[in-house]
Structure 1
């Protein structure tokens, strides 16, 4: 899997690539004990602080410079942000990102393609760059192939983002009300007699689009 990811970003694996990503993974791992010791409230509080830090760094920047400055601001907090997501996933859905999945998240954040096979954890990997880029407050979207996977993945990964204080929107194309396509927000308190509708609260599409993370 690691070689597939490295090849996908433009060539055969080499020592420079491996060293670069391994150093970031080591930084993330070095924060594991600190994150594990935090209460849920402390984890959420630190997430809020990271979000404020990123937004302050991007305040009043010219649009011409925004992309470069955004990349720099997010790169600066990436190790801690990924460590928070890893801990949140472990607590809420019982999944902990493997080191190679952290590398996949780093590659995706860089705007490159990570080749992963079925069963290698693409859905979990995506939580890393989704959370990181959502810290800007400008919203981040994940596009998948059908409405079923949108509902499944948003409800599956929703608890991770919820613990860290981010909202999750769910857009549906095929399913309609009388006048419009349906949209939802992930809501862990929302129960339903239909398993496929649990944890989804219907909202208008504008509200779903305004969520921090949109599936």
Structure 2
């Protein structure tokens, strides 16, 4: 390999590294890591709850918000409960990156996800958190077929949490 090709190769690798480090996605992942760790720490505690306790958690969250707790303080626990409901109802557990996507959506931002990355499952997280806060929640999709399919598919998660679909 010539010196010129070697330098070009090194420069290309450095450029890729710097672009990834300073990308928005990288910054978001670093910002959300502590949140995901909090959610993950709660997983075992939530997992031992009986099925009939999950709707009770929804009522508990609403009461705590009514008593002045901020939803941001409760959000890791809210997300952990929703994750557990999905695991029980659908045998689907949100991956950490899906937890990040749900948090981003709850913040009112846009999360770009490719086909097959679990957008429908991710949507359960901000939908549940918004419903817990007492706001009416509507999930919109591109056509009636997907709306019906996703409602039937994710409905058991929402019902396990004491919500209506």
TM-score calculated relative to the size of structure 2: 0.81
Q: Note the C-alpha offset of 1:117.
A: 0.4
Instruction: Provide the residue aligned with 1:137 in structure 2.
Output: 134
1:16-49 deviations in Å (ceiling 9; x for gaps)? 5333200000000000001111101122212210
Structure 2: gaps spanning 5 or more residues: 1-21
Shift of 1:55: 3.4
Greater helix proportion: 2
Instruction: Provide the residue aligned with 1:39 in structure 2.
Output: 50
1:85 alignment counterpart: 82
From the CA coordinates, give the structure whose radius of gyration is larger: 2
Within 2, Cα distance between the matches of 1:116 and 1:16? 17
Q: Which runs of 5+ in 1 are unaligned?
A: 1-10, 58-71, 169-215
Larger RCO (CA under 8 A, 6+ residues apart)? 2
1:113 is matched with which residue: 110, 120, 131? 110
Indicate conservation of the 8 Å contact 2:29/2:100, yes or no: no
2:64 corresponds to 1:53? yes
Distance 2:141 2:43 in 1: 30
| Residues 74, 133 of structure 1: 8 Å contact kept | no
Matched length? 144
Q: Which residue pairs with 2:32 in the alignment?
A: 21
- TM-score, with structure 1 as normaliser: 0.63
